[in-house]
Amino acid sequence: MKFGLFGVSSGVCVDPGVAARLARRAEAAGFESLWTGEHVVLPEPRQAPSPAEPDFPMLHPSTGLAYLAALTSRIRLGTGIVLIAQRNPVVLAKEMASLDVVSGGRLILGIGAGYLHQEFRALGIPFEERGARTDEAIDAMRALWNQPHPSFRGRFTSFSNIQAQPRPVQAGGPPVVIGGTSDAALRRTVLKAQGWYGFALDVDQTAAVILRLNRLLTELPRPAELGPLEISLSPRVRLDQANIDAFAAAGVQRLIPLLPQDSEDSIARWLDGLEPLVAANGTPA
């Protein structure tokens, strides 16, 4: 099992000193990856389906992860997730290629279509287009990363006669991990991504999604260059040996538990309990 940590650039971890101490401790303890989420804005007052209060702080993913890249040397850096439908894919491709370069090829690009309609409204992007924008953006970004002379023509993005350098360090670009449990997200995972990322699920919920993914793997023409599908999960339940074994049996390869968000002391105490499990069960990237 690979182990990551989610929430390294939000809550108390927006303090750069707290984030730095956490990243160095995680790398020394054998964690495989550090993950951060994204919301550009949150509704005020809080309204469904917002995940947090409007004053909950979150750094921009590439800013927070680039900072941690400079403080570490081996641990991987994941976006969990970037809301790709809210972004210009040409700009995002450059942003993520730059992060892959400054980290020495350690980026895992987790993406999702998004679900917070108030955020789309603030950004002036039609909420009902998010799925189509996500599918197209993945292809456009990979064109910029891989084609000798990038060219793309789509519904939302078109370009030719351009270059975007530097290219990512990782061949083909950073691995793409899709978040979400909708039918569209799972189809997108099989057809376009190296992995799937589940958030706040228990063992039974996770096993049910993996069953759906396995069925789609037999039904859809997954491109061979994507390789085996890797399953990552931020669990809803507290991690102990029994739960780690149950998630592994269900087919999970990476567990990314959610950090406490209230204080550095809470994080330290929480890690005191988790690190022995990582030492006993963890494997490097």
Which CATH number belongs to the domain containing residue 251 in this structure? Answer: 3.20.20.30
Q: How far apart are CA 142 and CA 123, in angstroms?
A: 24
The band of 205, judged by pLDDT with boundaries at 50, 70 and 90, is very high
> Do 203 and 177 contact (CB within 8 A), yes or no?
no
Domain that holds residue 24: 2-281
| Alpha-carbon distances, residue 23 vs 38, 177, 184, 260 (angstroms) | 19, 22, 34, 14
Q: How far apart are CA 204 and CA 110, in angstroms?
A: 23
Q: What is the pLDDT of residue 26?
A: 98
Checking if the pLDDT of 269 tops 70, the result is yes
The band of 236, judged by pLDDT with boundaries at 50, 70 and 90, is very high
Helix (H) / strand (E) element for 152: namely strand 152-153
Strand 195-201 to 176-179 pairing: parallel
Q: What is the pLDDT of residue 121?
A: 97
SS3 11: helix
Structure tokens at 65: 């992860």
Q: What is the pLDDT of residue 70?
A: 98
Checking if the pLDDT of 284 tops 70, the result is no
Q: Which amino acid is at 224?
A: A
For 22-40, what is the HEC assignment? HHHHHHHHCCCEEEECCCC
Q: Would you report the helix, strand and coil content of the chain in percent, each value rounded to 5?
A: 45, 15, 35
Q: How far apart are CA 229 and CA 50, in angstroms?
A: 30
User: Both ends of the chain: CA-CA distance in Å?
Assistant: 10
The band of 283, judged by pLDDT with boundaries at 50, 70 and 90, is confident
Checking if the pLDDT of 45 tops 70, the result is yes
SS3 2: strand
Mean pLDDT of 244-248: 98
Mean pLDDT of 38-55: 96
Checking if the pLDDT of 175 tops 70, the result is yes
Q: How far apart are CA 180 and CA 284, in angstroms?
A: 25
Percent of the chain with pLDDT over 90: 99
Checking if the pLDDT of 11 tops 70, the result is yes
Count of domains observed in the chain: 1
pLDDT digits (tens, 9 = 90+) for 118-142: 999 999 999 999 999 999 999 999 9
Mean pLDDT of 207-213: 98
Q: How far apart are CA 114 and CA 263, in angstroms?
A: 28
Q: How far apart are CA 82 and CA 149, in angstroms?
A: 26
Q: How far apart are CA 61 and CA 204, in angstroms?
A: 30
Neighbours of 258 (CB within 10 A): 18
The band of 285, judged by pLDDT with boundaries at 50, 70 and 90, is low
Checking if the pLDDT of 220 tops 70, the result is yes
Question: Hey, which residues does 82 pair with through a beta bridge?
Answer: 111
Mean pLDDT of 163-182: 98
Q: How far apart are CA 254 and CA 231, in angstroms?
A: 6
Global pTM?
0.97
pLDDT digits (tens, 9 = 90+) for 75-101: 999 999 999 999 999 999 999 999 999
Mean pLDDT, all residues of the chain: 97
